[in-house]
């Protein structure tokens, strides 16, 4: 469904710790919304609610929650984190994207 690199997962855990969000209560919610230069944008946040319209992916100590509308766009996607000289931050590697914008925050299918 979706994967998260070890580096990205560790950075997510660090953020959760900084914001006092307990792993046993809060989940990583990811999805897609309309917008951005290529038509669709990635969204990512923490929350403690799982609804019947969500798919849940258990990645070791982290639950990733995806609304069912976003699942098709994110299937096979990997969330990575880079802290190199060319930039710092989360990056989406999405095999479903036919094109992406220069910043990597939006895509088209």
- Containing structural domain, residue 84: 2-108
Instruction: Dump pLDDT digits (tens) for 54-108.
Output: 999 999 889 999 999 999 989 999 999 988 766 678 988 888 876 665 555 555 6
Contact 78, 5 (CB under 8 A): yes
Q: Residue 18 is inside which H or E element, if any?
A: helix 6-18
- The confidence band for 4, taking pLDDT boundaries of 50, 70 and 90, is very high
Region of residue 43 (phi > 0: left; psi between -120 and 50: alpha; otherwise: beta): beta
Which CATH number belongs to the domain containing residue 80 in this structure? 2.60.300.12
List all residues 6 or more positions away from 38 whose beta carbon is below 8 Å from its beta carbon. 97, 99, 100, 101, 106, 107, 108
Q: How many domains does the chain have?
A: 1
Q: What is the pTM of this model?
A: 0.83
pLDDT of residue 70: 94
Residue 21: which pLDDT band, with cuts at 50, 70 and 90? very high
Cα–Cα nearest to 10, from 66, 77, 87, 83 = 83
**Greater model confidence, 18 or 41:** 18
**Which residues, 6+ apart, have CB-to-CB distance to 49 below 8 Å?**
none
pLDDT of residue 87: 67
């Amino acid at each position: 469904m979706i994967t998260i690199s070890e580096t990205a997962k560790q950075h997510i855990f660090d953020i959760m710790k900084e914001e006092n969000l307990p792993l046993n209560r809060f989940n990583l919610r990811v999805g897609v919304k309309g917008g951005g230069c290529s038509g669709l944008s990635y969204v990512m946040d923490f929350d403690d609610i799982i609804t019947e319209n969500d798919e849940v992916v258990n990645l070791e100590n982290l639950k990733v929650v995806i609304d069912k509308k976003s699942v098709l766009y994110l299937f096979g996607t990997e969330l990575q984190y880079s802290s190199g000289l060319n930039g710092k931050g989360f990056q989406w590697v999405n095999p479903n994207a036919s094109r992406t914008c220069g910043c990597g925050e939006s895509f088209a299918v």
